[in-house]
């Protein structure tokens, strides 16, 4: 993969062009003003922050009316859509529209967050970890995080997360308003939301209607939202300044060469191999019949999306000039530190600390992923069982000593997940669990203690079948009984999945303890030193790696030149129909074919922009300087897949559904008149 060497932000005191996933308390407003003649002030930033939304399961969204209406991608809402579907009523295949509030359907386990406040808690965390390393560092940091979060989360409606920024250089408390009553309002058919399927994924030009609408409720009524984005009358135009406010998931731009080498040579190849096998398995399952296809479509989409993203990341890391530039950047920075004796004494050992920890992780990686990471027991029922087993053990401990996901502030989300009414499909569970157990035995070996414990004398296929058939954890009442009954109920349980979770928990916890206390704690300590060194030399004129927290980015609507070919910034709805073949994944649904004559062919459908995005940004609003919706992020192009490690302004592009295309589809194809009125009207008092 061709990569320009403009992306090495780690050397620069200022980010290049539109590069940057900026926190709201450190947005480079002056740089925007200098380049585009518009300077976002604090009032504008506050309005945009409060109009942005996060789907806690891993996506972004935005508030788009005063009645709690949330816009996101179809693929972000797909788990809800699939969970609400049945054998006789497939909302994924047929689409869904609630013409009035009484027909809106509650999503079983969707949580939406609104960021209300950011507080700097660096001094408090650093005081707790001062002079500590290894286990004592990890223990002190975990306790500090849990204490800060529990003090902040005064009710279930408040979510508080301590966020590590600049790889440990800063710590911030993000306080959210939490909404767990989320209802589906509109979703198009899967075939138009993901038109072109996997072959078109991470490409441009695109013709996708990847949009859905949900609504947040409070006390059984649509929640009033004071802050929201109105729709622009025109939508995005070529070369226009646009902003993306969303939640990029995870980037590795601050990683050391030791970490990047480990990811390139160990993590990504192993992950690609397993995902490739899983893709074949789930694809075959979906071909067994209509019902098998219905229940596995979301899983297959996730695997294929992850597979393509991981391929792109590895291609970036194996590109010689790219990796050589990363090495040169690290060496140059180390030389800068070495040239200043006071900095060398404080920070010079950081890279060795991280390198030793990475070396320690290499022999543990597969055991950790398969056992503690759960890949060897890939099943929704097993995940529920492990959560119940661990909650029973952790809830009896002081809050600061618990595993992080079982702290008091995490309980609302944990309960929502465990008590979800989402359907669990036994046939698919058996398939996944069998595959996980087969890989567990294959990768760790038949004589590994956990393999022998888990399988005994049974084959993976027979064990998976007996576990899934014998477990009662599909029953919500049984899950509640075990959750409320605590350690005594778990100890007395004869449920085979509970017994398996109990059986493998000692080894899983031991691996977790080693990785948390001896490896990750040292990596975190090393990065904290590197971050302080960067601050000493460059201040905070750089942005932190993505952490699935709200970030703001600026760019412009822009095509690109790829291998000498000019790719325009916008696609048009009229061109969509020429791509229809009648065969998946290029088969348009009947609603669109019937509406062809009504649709204005010149209406923009998708567009590319120079915004710096990554996974997690899906569903992010694209807004203009007036804080109006002009688009909806749903993808990046193929060059953006290396965005985990850097940003190339010549090639990296974000891909969005155009706001005019969204309205055209709602109006002409779906006749969603009430929804269109809500999006176009109700602006009085907003500004």
Does residue 618 sit in helix, strand or coil?
coil
- The 10s digit of each residue's pLDDT in 307-320 is 999 999 999 999 99
Asked if residue 9 has pLDDT above 70, the reply is no
- The 10s digit of each residue's pLDDT in 321-350 is 999 999 999 999 999 999 999 999 999 999
User: Does 214 fall in a domain?
Assistant: yes
Place 539 in a pLDDT band, splitting at 50, 70 and 90.
Answer: confident
- Do 55 and 85 form a contact (C-beta atoms < 8 A)? no
Hunting for tokens 């295309």 — which residue is that? 661
Hunting for tokens 């493998």 — which residue is that? 504
pLDDT of the residue at 11: 33
- Average pLDDT of span 78-103: 97
- The 10s digit of each residue's pLDDT in 292-301 is 999 999 999 9
- Do 246 and 617 form a contact (C-beta atoms < 8 A)? yes
CATH of the domain at 205: 2.40.10.120
Place 4 in a pLDDT band, splitting at 50, 70 and 90.
Answer: very low
Rounded to whole angstroms, how far apart are CA atoms 254 and 539? Answer: 15
- Average pLDDT of span 469-484: 98
CA-wise closest residue to 114 among 201, 65, 49, 36 = 49
Provide the residue range defining the domain that includes 608. 5-111+180-253+544-680
Place 105 in a pLDDT band, splitting at 50, 70 and 90.
Answer: very high
pLDDT of the residue at 167: 87
Q: Is the dihedral of CA 464, 465, 471, 473 positive or negative?
A: positive
User: Does 155 fall in a domain?
Assistant: no
- Parallel/antiparallel/unpaired status of strands 170-179 and 112-120: antiparallel
- Give the distance from CA 565 to its chain's centroid: 32
Asked if residue 16 has pLDDT above 60, the reply is no
Instruction: For the chain, give percent helix, strand, coil, nearest 5.
Output: 55, 15, 30
For residue 218, CA distances in Å to 178, 182, 198 come to: 10, 9, 38
- The 10s digit of each residue's pLDDT in 155-204 is 999 999 999 999 889 999 999 999 999 999 999 999 999 999 999 999 99
Asked if residue 463 has pLDDT above 80, the reply is yes
Rounded to whole angstroms, how far apart are CA atoms 307 and 272? Answer: 6
Asked if residue 5 has pLDDT above 50, the reply is no
Neighbouring residues of 606: CB distance < 8 A, sequence distance ≥ 6: 204, 205, 206, 207, 208, 570, 571, 655, 656, 657, 658, 661
- Average pLDDT of span 549-558: 98
Strand boundaries in 56-123, DSSP class E:
59-63, 69-72, 96-97, 105-106, 112-120
Number of structural domains found in the chain: 1
pLDDT of the residue at 17: 61
H helical segments located in 207-349? 257-262, 268-286, 290-318, 320-338, 341-347
Continuous segment of H or E residues that includes residue 483: helix 476-492
Label each residue of 217-235 as H, E or C. EECCEECCCCCCCCECCCC
Strand boundaries in 102-236, DSSP class E:
105-106, 112-120, 158-165, 170-179, 181-187, 212-218, 221-222
> Which tokens go with 515?
């990785």
pLDDT of the residue at 588: 98
Rounded to whole angstroms, how far apart are CA atoms 14 and 543? Answer: 9
Place 682 in a pLDDT band, splitting at 50, 70 and 90.
Answer: low
- Do 242 and 623 form a contact (C-beta atoms < 8 A)? yes
- Average pLDDT of span 220-229: 97
> Which tokens go with 207?
């013709």
Instruction: Please provide the average confidence, as pLDDT, over all residues in the chain.
Output: 95
Q: Which residue has the higher pLDDT, 687 or 352?
A: 352
Rounded to whole angstroms, how far apart are CA atoms 93 and 87? Answer: 11
Residue 295 main-chain phi, psi, to 5 deg: -80, -15
Rounded to whole angstroms, how far apart are CA atoms 571 and 559? Answer: 10
CA-wise closest residue to 429 among 474, 367, 387, 373 = 474
User: Does 120 fall in a domain?
Assistant: no
- Average pLDDT of span 18-22: 93
- Average pLDDT of span 247-254: 96
For residue 468, CA distances in Å to 379, 428, 500, 539 come to: 9, 10, 12, 55
- Average pLDDT of span 89-107: 97
End-to-end CA distance of the chain: 45
Q: Is-cis flag, bond preceding 205, omega within 30?
A: yes
User: Does 326 fall in a domain?
Assistant: no
User: Does 347 fall in a domain?
Assistant: no
- Do 356 and 420 form a contact (C-beta atoms < 8 A)? no
List, in sequence order, every residue forming a beta bridge with 162; answer none if it has no partner. 173
Rounded to whole angstroms, how far apart are CA atoms 395 and 417? Answer: 17
Rounded to whole angstroms, how far apart are CA atoms 669 and 648? Answer: 38
> Which tokens go with 508?
């899983």
What does the DSSP assignment read for 550-591?
-EEEEEEB--EEETTEEE-SEEEHHHHGGG--SSTTS---HH
- Do 433 and 427 form a contact (C-beta atoms < 8 A)? no
Rounded to whole angstroms, how far apart are CA atoms 527 and 525? Answer: 5
User: Does 26 fall in a domain?
Assistant: yes
User: Does 263 fall in a domain?
Assistant: no
Does residue 246 sit in helix, strand or coil?
strand
- The C-alpha R_g of the chain, in whole angstroms, comes to 25
pLDDT of the residue at 538: 83
User: Does 68 fall in a domain?
Assistant: yes
Residues 316-337: b if buried by 16+ CB within 10 A, e if exposed: bbeeeebbebbeebbeebbebb
């Amino acid at each position: 993969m061709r990569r320009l060497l403009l992306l090495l932000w780690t050397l620069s005191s200022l980010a290049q062009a539109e590069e940057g996933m900026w926190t709201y308390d450190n947005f480079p407003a002056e740089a925007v003003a200098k380049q585009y003649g518009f300077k976002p002030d604090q009032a504008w930033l506050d309005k945009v922050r409060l109009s942005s939304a996060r789907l806690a399961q891993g996506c972004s969204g935005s508030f788009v009316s005063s009645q709690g209406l949330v816009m996101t991608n179809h693929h972000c809402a797909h788990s809800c859509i699939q969970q609400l579907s049945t054998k006789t009523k497939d909302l994924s295949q047929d689409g869904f529209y609630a013409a009035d509030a009484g027909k809106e359907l509650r999503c079983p386990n969707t949580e939406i967050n609104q960021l209300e406040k950011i507080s700097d808690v660096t001094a408090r965390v650093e005081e707790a970890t001062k002079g500590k390393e290894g286990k004592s560092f990890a223990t002190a940091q975990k306790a500090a995080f849990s204490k800060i979060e529990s003090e902040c989360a005064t009710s279930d409606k408040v979510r508080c997360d301590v966020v590590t920024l600049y790889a440990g250089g800063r710590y911030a408390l993000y306080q959210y308003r939490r909404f767990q009553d989320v209802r589906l309002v509109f979703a198009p058919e899967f075939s138009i939301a993901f038109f072109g399927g996997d072959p078109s994924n991470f490409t441009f030009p695109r013709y996708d209607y990847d949009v859905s609408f949900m609504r947040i409720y409070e006390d059984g009524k649509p929640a009033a939202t004071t802050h929201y984005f109105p729709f622009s009358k025109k939508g995005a135009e070529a070369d226009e300044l646009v902003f993306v406010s969303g939640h990029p998931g995870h980037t590795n731009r601050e990683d050391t060469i030791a970490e990047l080498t480990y990811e390139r040579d160990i993590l990504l190849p192993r992950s690609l191999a397993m995902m490739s096998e899983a893709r074949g398995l789930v694809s075959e399952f979906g071909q067994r019949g209509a019902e098998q296809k219905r229940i596995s479509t979301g899983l297959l989409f996730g695997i294929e999306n992850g597979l393509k993203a991981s391929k792109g990341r590895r291609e970036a890391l194996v590109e010689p000039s790219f990796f050589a530039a990363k090495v040169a950047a690290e060496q140059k920075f180390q030389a800068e530190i070495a040239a200043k004796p006071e900095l060398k004494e404080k920070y010079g050992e950081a890279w060795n600390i991280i390198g030793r920890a990475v070396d320690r992780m290499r022999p543990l990686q597969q055991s950790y992923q398969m056992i503690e990471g759960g890949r060897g027991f890939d099943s929704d029922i097993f995940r529920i069982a492990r959560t119940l087993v661990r909650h029973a053990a952790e809830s009896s401990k002081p809050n600061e000593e618990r595993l992080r996901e079982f702290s008091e502030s995490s309980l609302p989300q944990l309960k929502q997940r465990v008590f979800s009414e989402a359907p669990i499909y036994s046939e698919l569970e058996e398939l996944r669990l069998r595959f996980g157990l087969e890989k567990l035995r294959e990768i760790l070996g038949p004589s590994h203690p956990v393999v022998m414990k888990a399988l005994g004398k049974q084959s993976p296929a027979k064990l998976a079948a007996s576990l899934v058939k014998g477990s009662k954890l599909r029953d919500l009442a049984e899950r509640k009984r075990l959750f409320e009954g605590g350690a005594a109920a778990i100890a007395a349980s004869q449920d085979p999945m509970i017994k398996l979770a109990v059986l493998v928990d000692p080894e899983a916890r031991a691996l977790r303890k080693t990785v948390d206390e001896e490896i990750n704690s040292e990596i975190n300590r090393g990065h904290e030193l590197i971050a302080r060194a960067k601050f000493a030399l460059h201040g905070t004129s750089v942005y932190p790696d993505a952490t699935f927290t709200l970030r703001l980015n600026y760019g412009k609507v822009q095509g690109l030149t790829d291998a000498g070919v000019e790719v325009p910034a916008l696609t048009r709805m009229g061109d969509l129909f020429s791509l229809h073949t009648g065969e998946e994944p290029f088969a348009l649904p009947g609603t669109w074919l019937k509406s062809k004559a009504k649709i204005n062919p010149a209406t923009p459908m998708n567009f590319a922009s120079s915004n710096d995005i990554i996974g997690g940004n899906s569903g992010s609003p694209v807004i203009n300087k007036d804080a109006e919706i002009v688009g909806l992020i749903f993808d990046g192009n193929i060059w953006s897949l290396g965005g985990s490690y850097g940003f190339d302004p010549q090639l990296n592009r974000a891909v969005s559904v155009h706001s005019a295309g969204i309205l055209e589809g709602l109006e002409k194809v779906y006749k969603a008149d009430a929804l269109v009125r809500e999006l176009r009207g109700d602006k009085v008092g907003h500004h």
